[in-house]
Structure 1
Amino acid sequence: MKSVIIASTSTIHGSGYLEYLLETLEEHFKAVDEILFIPYARPGGISYDEYTKIVKKVFKKINKTVVGVQEFENAPNAILNAKGIFTGGGNTFVLVNQLYKKKILEPLKTAIKNGTPYLGTSAGSNICGLTMNTTNDMPIVYPRSFKTLGIVPFNINPHYLDPVKISKHMGETRETRIKEFHQFNTQPVIGIREGSWIEIKNTSITLKGDLCARIFEYNKLPYEIETNSDLLFLK
C-alpha cells in the first residue's frame, strides 16, 4: 500500500523546519523507527552531512532516527531496505542528476510502490510527478533525463505563488510559466501553495492543508480546488 506525503515546502513563514507537518509526520511514519534521508538537492550548496544533521534534529522530536543515504556504499540497496524515506528540498536539477548518477531512481520508485512511507518536500516533491519540468529551480546541472518517479499522474509546482497586483515585478508569473509548459506538454500540473501537501494512501490521492491548490490542464483555463479534494481525476 503506497503511503506518500508530497509537501510544497519544508518551512512555512514563522515556523521551524518541518514544524507545521510534525503531527502529520508522526502518524505517517508511526510504524518505523528509522528514516533514510536523501540530501542530494543541497539547498544553498550545503553538504550532505550538514543537511542530514538538520533533519536528524527535527525527527528526534518524534523519536525517529535518521540516516543519510550518503553513508552507504550501496545506495540502491539502502533505498530498497529503508523503513521510511525522506527526500529534502533544494535544487531539483541537482537532485535528479544525482538520482540518475547513483542509480537510485528506479529503486526509489520500487520502494514507494511497495509501501515504504515516503516524504518529499519541494524538490523531493517535484520528483513525484511525471517529470521535473515544472520546477522553479535554475538548471545549474544537466540531468540524464527530466523523467522522474511518476508516483502521481501529473506534474507538480511546489511553492506556487499567485500574482501580486501591486507588485512592480515585470517578469513572468508561475501561471505564465505553466502555460508555457503546456505549449509543449499535455499532462496536468498542480500548483501547491506553501503549507499544503498531497497525501497518497494506497490508490487515493488527496489535497491536504489549509489552502486551495491551482490546477492547470491542457487547453483549459486554470481553476482552484479546495483542500481535502480527491485528485484522482487528474489523469
Structure 2
Amino acid sequence: MPQHVIVDADGINDEVIPFIVAINSHDGRSPYQVVVTPWRPVCGNTERLAVQDALTRWTVRHTRNATERIREARRTLGLSIRYYDQWAAEETALARTDLAINQFDQLIDTLWPLDDTATARSARTREVRRDRLHRLFADEAERAGRTAYAGERAVTDYLDHYAPIRPSAASGLRGNLSGARGLRLLEGIDDELKSTAHRRLTQLRQR
C-alpha cells in the first residue's frame, strides 16, 4: 500500500507496513482471494487479525469485462484502506492499555486451554509455551511498555515464529520449515487465534 501505518504516533510510534496479497488457484481448488496483511518490520510479524466492521480476507469475482475489473480493483482498495484505518485505531488503543502479567496468563489460558484429562506431555508443552510467551512479552514490553499491545505482539510473534508446525508431504514442503511457515501465514491458519487474542485484549480497554 502507498502509505505505512503508525500505531500510537504520540507514544511508541510503531511503524507497520500494509500489504494486499492476492491468492489464486489455477486448478479450481480455491477462489481468487484478496488478503490484507500488516507486517511489522521490528520483528517480522504478520499482524493479520479481524477488527470491528472491517474485513481481513475476501473473494474477488472472476470477470471478463475490463470495466468490472476496474470496479473490483477500486472495491479491493477501498476495503483495504478501511481495514487499515480501523486496525490502526484499535492497535493504538491497545498500546495505551496496561496489561498485568496475570492478565497475560489469562489470555494464554484462553488461547491454549489445558483439558483436565491432559497428559503429562501436554502439561510440559504448556509450560514450555508459557515460558516462551513470557519471554516474548518481556522483550516487547521493553519498547512498548507492559501494555495490551505488547501482549498481542508476543502472541503474534509466537504464532509466526515459534509455534510447532509439521510440514506435510501433501503441501510439497516436507522438511522446509520456513516455506511451511510462509504458507501458513498466507492461508491464515492462525488468524482465528490472533483475532481471539485481539478481542480479549480489546475488552480490557473497555472496562
Under TM normalisation by the shorter chain, which class is it?
under 0.3
Whose radius of gyration is greater, 1 or 2? Answer: 2
Q: Return the structure number with greater strand share.
A: 1
